Amino acid sequence: MHSIVFKLYFFIALSFPFSLMAHHNFNPYQIEKTFGDSLGKIVEHYDFGADLYVSSFQDVEGMLKTILEKHKGKSIILDLWGTFCPPCIADFKNSSDIKKQLRDMDVVMVYLCAGRSSNPSKWKEVIEENKLVGTHIYMDSDMTSKYMEKFNFRNYPGYVFVDKNGKYDRFLVRGVASIHPPSFNAKINKD
């Protein structure tokens, strides 16, 4: 009898954290690791090259400044997306080869997940399933709204290109899957 009770207790104890993640009301702020950097605490690291953060920023300018400092000397594509957004997911599935070429051009991807209507466990699932190399930030509802307002986005996906000097261009990228790497490289490196 004690063996059965122990096994049941052990199963519940191991399952509890995972059941929290599967639940739609899961609070991503509950999971914290003991390491991090200027973007905050890393909630997950994938060996294929993805670091996942939950935004603790209160203002868009502070978040953008930190992203630029972290990727100093590189060009950046900021990709605003949602877990429920079919065009966002389609772009992920159709752009992996292009993203490899972008990395060779010193262009990094920073994915900003719209937390106002995205499920945190689905966020992680989509990243892992599509092997999305780059920096991932899960933004709360307030930060999502502030970010969308700053760049005048009405829906997802939304792309912003940031050059090596920190200049923003909201219209250069319409979708990563539609980038023609040689033309894109010529545009971003014209001096």
12/159 Cα distance (integer angstroms):
42
CATH 3.40.30.10 fits 33-188, yes or no: yes
User: Half-sphere exposure of residue 65, counting CA atoms within 13 Å on the CB side?
Assistant: 6
Pick from 3-7, 26-30, 136-140, 151-155: least confident: 3-7
Chain segment 35-73, per-residue pLDDT in tens: 457 887 889 999 999 999 998 898 999 999 999 999 999
Structural element, H or E, at residue 142: helix 141-150
Q: In what order do the strands lie in the sheet with 36-37?
A: 36-37, 40-46, 50-54, 134-139, 107-114, 75-81, 158-162, 168-169
Total-model pTM: 0.81
Cis peptide before 157 (omega within 30 of 0): yes
159/40 Cα distance (integer angstroms):
23
Helices and strands, counts by H and E, the chain: 7, 8
Instruction: Place 191 in a pLDDT band, splitting at 50, 70 and 90.
Output: low
Please state the length of the chain.
191
Contact 80, 87 (CB under 8 A): no
